[in-house]
């Protein structure tokens, strides 16, 4: 814990107005609110760096004030049209502790690592961010590994139990998802793909998904990639395997919800390696 606080303070000092991220307060916030929000983001940023190494891009963080909706961040999204930006609509009446336990910042920062791959690729983009969000929270010391994997288990159960859209594969669901019900199935069906790929990769080569993403960030983060298929083949190339294309055929490209019990059992015993 002390280590984290020291890291946070040093990152905070090092980045204010200089390096990552660029801060943009779009509404009026007090200085203590600004500091609280910055520390919230920097904690997740530090968690990302512990998993993936130094991030090879700059990004901006925009804060908007929100009093509607539920929770500390009722709404957030990324914008990758010009550079990398993330927008958080925040309700600062919630405590720092509540912000720390909220997954939104980890989810959105993980989106910034990957290109926009269109509506058809939604299962891939959202599945990856959903799979990584609790790992980033674990890496940032915001949750234990047990809490992280219990949350995953809850999410998979809810997604599997959704009544509608059982006749569609997770991939095909990308094109019809426009409200909450299918989103749950889409996001966590996509996350199940990455969990199964992570396990298969580890069993075949000893590599982890986080390690593959770290290599992708070094070699290929600026590649012109426009689809989930291109991302899958890039991850195959970076890992020097066929795991990502093989697991695709075995999971999200089929009509039934992907298997999660065996992979989750494995994941519980195998937290991702932290670099620092």
Backbone angle region of 17, left / alpha / beta, with phi > 0 → left and psi within -120 to 50 → alpha: left
- 122 versus 160: smaller Cβ distance to Zn ion: 122
CA–CA separation, 133 and 151 (whole Å):
11
Among 124, 98, 88, CA closest to 228 = 124
Token pair belonging to 134: 């609790």
- 227 versus 245: smaller Cβ distance to Zn ion: 227
Q: Least distance from C-beta 121 to Zn ion, angstroms?
A: 12
Stretch near Zn ion under the rule CB under 5 A, chosen from 59-67, 123-131, 191-199, 217-225: 123-131
Stretch near Zn ion under the rule CB under 5 A, chosen from 118-126, 139-147, 219-227, 248-256: 118-126
Stretch near Zn ion under the rule CB under 5 A, chosen from 23-31, 37-45, 126-134, 224-232: 126-134
Q: Least distance from C-beta 107 to Zn ion, angstroms?
A: 5
Mark 68-107 with x for binding to Zn ion (rule: CB under 5 A) and - for no binding: ----------------------------------------
Q: Compute φ and ψ for 215, nearest 5 degrees.
A: -70, -40
225 binds Zn ion (CB under 5 A): no
Number of residues engaging Zn ion in binding (CB under 5 A) = 2
Q: Where are the alpha helices (DSSP H) in 19-121?
A: 31-52, 96-100, 104-111
Query: Which residue number is nearest to Zn ion in terms of Cβ?
Result: 129
Q: Least distance from C-beta 123 to Zn ion, angstroms?
A: 11
Length of the chain: 276
CA–CA separation, 55 and 47 (whole Å):
11
Stretch near Zn ion under the rule CB under 5 A, chosen from 45-53, 94-102, 119-127, 137-145: 119-127
44 binds Zn ion (CB under 5 A): no
What Cα–Cα distance (Å) separates residue 71 from each residue in 38, 56, 151, 190, 241? Answer: 18, 31, 17, 24, 41
- 90 versus 129: smaller Cβ distance to Zn ion: 129
129 binds Zn ion (CB under 5 A): yes
What's the order of all strands across the beta sheet hosting 75-79?
A: 22-25, 60-65, 85-90, 75-79
Residues of this chain that bind Zn ion (CB under 5 A): 126, 129
């Amino acid at each position: 814990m002390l280590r984290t606080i020291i890291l946070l303070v040093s990152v905070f000092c090092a980045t204010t107005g200089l390096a990552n991220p660029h801060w943009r307060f779009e509404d009026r916030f007090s200085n203590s609110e600004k500091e609280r929000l910055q520390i919230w983001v920097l904690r997740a940023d530090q968690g990302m760096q512990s998993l993936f190494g130094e991030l090879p891009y700059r990004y901006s963080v925009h804060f908007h004030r929100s009093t509607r909706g539920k929770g500390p961040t009722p709404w957030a999204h990324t914008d990758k049209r010009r550079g990398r930006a993330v927008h958080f609509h925040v309700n600062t009446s919630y405590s720092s502790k509540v912000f720390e336990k909220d997954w939104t910042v980890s989810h959105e920062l993980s989106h910034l690592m990957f290109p926009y791959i269109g509506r058809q690729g939604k299962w891939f983009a959202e599945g990856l961010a959903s799979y990584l969000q609790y790992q980033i929270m674990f890496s940032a010391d915001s949750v234990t590994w047990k809490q992280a994997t219990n949350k995953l288990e809850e999410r998979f159960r809810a997604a599997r139990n959704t009544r509608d859209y059982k006749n569609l594969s997770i991939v095909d669901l990308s094109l019809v998802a426009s409200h909450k019900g299918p989103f749950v199935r889409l996001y966590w069906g996509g996350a199940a793909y990455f969990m199964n790929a992570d396990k298969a990769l580890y069993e075949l080569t000893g590599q982890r998904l986080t390690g593959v993403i770290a290599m992708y960030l070094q070699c290929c983060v600026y590649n012109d990639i426009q689809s989930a298929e291109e991302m899958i083949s890039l991850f195959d190339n970076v890992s020097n395997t066929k795991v990502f294309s093989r697991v695709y055929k075995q999971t999200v490209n089929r009509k039934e919800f992907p298997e999660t019990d065996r992979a989750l059992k494995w994941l519980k015993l195998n937290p991702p390696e932290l670099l620092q």
